[in-house]
Each structure stands twice: as structure tokens, then as C-alpha cells.
């Protein structure tokens, strides 16, 4: 048994959308109550667990928040559990001390109670206190639903479903495939991925494409009075531009990664120091726009699911400066040199293709 998750866009009615917003607000209120209670306990030299805080919240919730009676109590219960997890990570030094959530933060709540209260049937999902909500696509996995999180992004509702499923009978590969072969992959700014077999995948650079539109949306928002109706409208427009940029980038990464996986029997990639690369102010924006880390993460987990080994080259391996034919290292190669000319064997080859061949696992 392994866990698989899938995020699906919802198509709720106006009434259902309002109810989901209320549940997300209820989760935020419960979380902030838990933060206050935990901080008050620390001030009194008392360590309050999430069980103690949940008991305290249940005792006063119908008096302090009368409107919560019409909502599912899973939202508040899971929000307090989330605080318990945050405190545990804080104790281990994995994150900072939990802070209060604001209305402008991510809108989400966990809908299930861990006992199978959420039901999925074809293109519909049954959420507690909301009812059957239409989904844009069907759930691709079969198994026991262990967690359901409803969230809102750019005025669109999504549901993330975590499933305990048996993947032993899954067949990820399509019926018709090209001959599989070991493949080295070099990532770059102009071309997202260059493979050792000669395949290249374009980098859409969506931030560069929408930079002027993004600047105009930011200026329009800055001219509005914060909190006014026009401010909220301008903020929604800015959010929409950011959402479109993220979707274009994510789609390109998914398309490239799955096509590479379908052709590779083994994969070799370079080890990138992303934080170090971002310190270069001339390349930082282009590197952030390309999001190499996200692309390589997709490539790794998809390869792992299909049993394809991935070899990561040493961080200081000069894949671009080393000749893929004779192994001669060209020390004076600059970023402006887009073709590799070997002075020893006379090889003339595209710079990125030469690096990809050097990264190809033997």
C-alpha cells in the first residue's frame, strides 16, 4: 500500500462556494484560537497539547461562535491538529513559532475526519455539510481516502485527495513507446531541457512574457486605497496574472518531464546549487522564471514511481566544459559560447547537447 494524491478543480454552485468559504473561515478562527491558547499556556509555564486545546475550544465554540453550528466540525478539529503538528516541528527546529492566520492568507480547510466521511463517485465528491460537488475530472486512483483538503486559488476551488492505494497493478507506461535508452539531461534558461539523444524542450519563460502585464497590475493595485472595493478588484486581477504564469510554467514542466520519462531507461542530471546561482543578480530573474528545482523534483518522483534510476553528477563536475568525445576540458568556455569547439579532437557540437551527453549514465 502506498499513498497517492491528486488535486482536482471543483465546479461548485454559488451556495456551495459560500459554504466552503465559511468552512475555511471557521478553520482559520479555530487555528487562531489554538495559537492564543498555546501562547497563554506558555506564559503560565503550562504546556498545552492539541488535545487540551481542542477540549477547551469545544467547550466555548457554540457560545463564542454561534454561526459554527451549521458547519462541519471537521474544519475546526483538523485546524487544531495542524497547530499540534506546527508546534512539534517548532520543537524540532524545523520551522519558526506558529503565527496567526490572516484573511489574506491561503484559504483552505481539511474536510474529512479520518473515518471515510468523504465519498467520491465518478466526477462528484460528497463533502460534509456541503453535499455533492461536481469535479472537473474523475479521481484516477482507487483505494481508501485518508485526507481531503479543500482550497481556493485565484477564485477557483480545488480539492486535494490523499489515497491509500495498491499500486502493484498500476501500469504507468503507454502502449506504444520509443526504444528506451539511458539519457543525460542538461537544464538551461533558453531551453528547459536538452537530452543526450538530441531532444530539446522549450522553456516558456512565462514571467518574462507577462512582465509588462504584471507591472501594470502592480501599479494599478498600488494606486488603490487598501481595503476598498477597487483595491480588491485590482488584487484579483494581479492574482490572476500570477496564477496564469504559474500554470504555464507547471504545464511545461509536466509535459517535458513525462516525455523524458517515457523514453529513458536511466537518467543522469546535474546537481545544481540553486541558492548560489540566485546570488547572481544578472541571472536571478531568469533562473527563478525557469524554476529548475521544481522541474527536477517532478522528474525525480516520476522516475522513482516507474523504477527508473537517476544519477546525480557531482556539483563541481564541469559537464559543459568537458568534451563528450575525448574528455578534454576547455577552461576558457564562457556563458556566451553556445557551441563547444574542442581543440584536441576537433569536435563541434551544441554546448547544451555536449553537457547532456557527459551527464548520460553509462
Higher pLDDT, 69 or 166: 69
Strands (E), the chain: 2-11, 107-110, 119-121, 124-127, 131-135, 144-153, 156-165, 181-187, 191-195, 200-202, 264-269, 310-312, 339-341, 348-350
Domain boundaries, the chain: 2-165, 181-359
Name the band, by pLDDT with cuts 50, 70 and 90, for residue 25: very high
Please give the pLDDT value at position 19: 96
Q: Which residue in this structure is represented by grid cell 499540534?
A: 84
Confidence of residue 51 (pLDDT cuts 50, 70, 90): very high
Cα(219)–Cα(234) distance, rounded to whole angstroms?
9
pTM for the model stands at 0.84
The CA distances from residue 13 to 18, 19, 65, 139, in Å, are 9, 10, 25, 20
> How sure is the predictor about 175, in pLDDT bands with cuts at 50, 70 and 90?
very low
pLDDT value at residue 176: 43
Cα separation, 70 vs 72, whole angstroms: 7
Q: What is the pLDDT of residue 170?
A: 58
In the predicted model, what is the mean pLDDT of residues 169-184?
Answer: 64
Q: What's the CA gap between 136 and 121, in Å, rounded?
A: 13
User: Is residue 249's pLDDT more than 70?
Assistant: yes
List residues bridging with 7 in a β-sheet: 160
What is the chain's mean pLDDT, rounded?
90
Q: Count how many Cα atoms sit within 13 Å of the Cα of residue 83 in the half-sphere of its side chain.
A: 29
- For the chain, what percent of residues have pLDDT higher than 90? 67
Average pLDDT over residues 306-325: 87
Nearest to 158 by CA among 122, 111, 116, 104: 111
Q: What pLDDT sits at residue 167?
A: 66
For range 244-264, the mean pLDDT = 94
Amino acid at each position: 500500500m502506498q499513498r497517492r494524491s491528486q488535486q482536482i478543480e471543483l465546479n461548485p454552485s454559488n451556495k456551495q462556494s459560500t459554504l466552503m468559504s465559511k468552512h475555511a473561515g471557521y478553520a482559520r478562527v479555530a487555528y487562531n484560537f489554538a495559537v492564543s491558547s498555546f501562547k497563554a499556556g506558555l506564559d503560565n509555564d503550562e504546556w498545552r497539547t492539541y488535545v487540551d486545546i481542542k477540549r477547551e475550544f469545544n467547550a466555548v465554540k457554540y457560545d463564542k461562535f454561534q454561526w459554527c453550528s451549521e458547519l462541519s466540525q471537521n474544519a475546526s478539529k483538523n485546524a487544531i491538529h495542524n497547530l499540534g503538528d506546527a508546534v512539534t516541528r517548532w520543537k524540532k527546529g524545523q520551522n519558526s513559532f506558529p503565527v496567526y492566520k490572516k484573511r489574506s492568507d491561503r484559504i483552505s480547510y481539511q474536510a474529512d475526519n479520518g473515518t471515510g466521511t468523504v465519498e467520491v463517485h465518478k466526477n462528484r465528491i460528497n463533502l460534509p455539510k456541503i453535499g455533492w460537488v461536481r469535479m472537473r475530472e474523475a479521481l484516477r486512483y482507487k483505494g481508501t481516502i485518508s485526507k481531503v483538503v479543500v482550497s481556493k486559488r485565484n477564485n477557483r476551488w480545488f480539492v486535494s485527495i490523499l489515497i491509500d492505494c495498491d499500486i502493484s497493478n498500476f501500469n504507468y507506461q503507454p502502449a506504444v513507446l520509443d526504444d528506451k535508452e539511458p539519457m543525460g539531461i542538461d537544464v538551461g534558461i533558453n531551453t528547459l531541457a536538452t537530452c543526450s539523444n538530441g531532444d530539446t524542450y522549450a522553456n516558456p519563460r512565462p514571467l518574462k512574457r507577462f512582465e509588462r502585464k504584471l507591472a501594470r497590475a502592480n501599479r494599478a493595485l498600488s494606486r488603490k486605497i487598501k481595503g476598498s472595493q477597487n483595491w480588491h478588484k485590482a488584487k484579483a486581477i494581479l492574482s490572476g496574472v500570477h496564477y496564469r504564469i504559474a500554470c504555464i510554467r507547471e504545464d511545461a514542466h509536466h509535459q517535458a518531464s513525462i516525455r523524458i520519462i517515457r523514453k529513458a531507461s536511466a537518467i543522469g542530471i546535474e546537481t545544481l546549487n540553486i541558492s548560489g546561482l540566485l546570488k547572481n543578480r544578472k541571472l536571478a530573474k531568469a533562473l527563478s522564471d525557469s524554476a529548475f528545482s521544481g522541474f527536477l523534483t517532478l522528474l525525480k518522483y516520476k522516475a522513482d514511481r516507474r523504477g527508473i534510476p537517476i544519477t546525480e553528477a557531482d556539483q563541481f563536475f564541469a559537464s559543459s566544459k568537458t568534451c563528450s568525445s575525448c574528455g578534454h576540458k576547455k577552461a576558457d568556455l564562457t556563458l556566451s559560447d553556445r557551441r563547444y569547439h574542442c581543440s584536441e579532437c576537433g569536435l563541434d557540437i551544441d554546448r547544451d547537447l555536449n553537457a547532456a551527453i557527459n551527464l548520460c549514465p553509462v
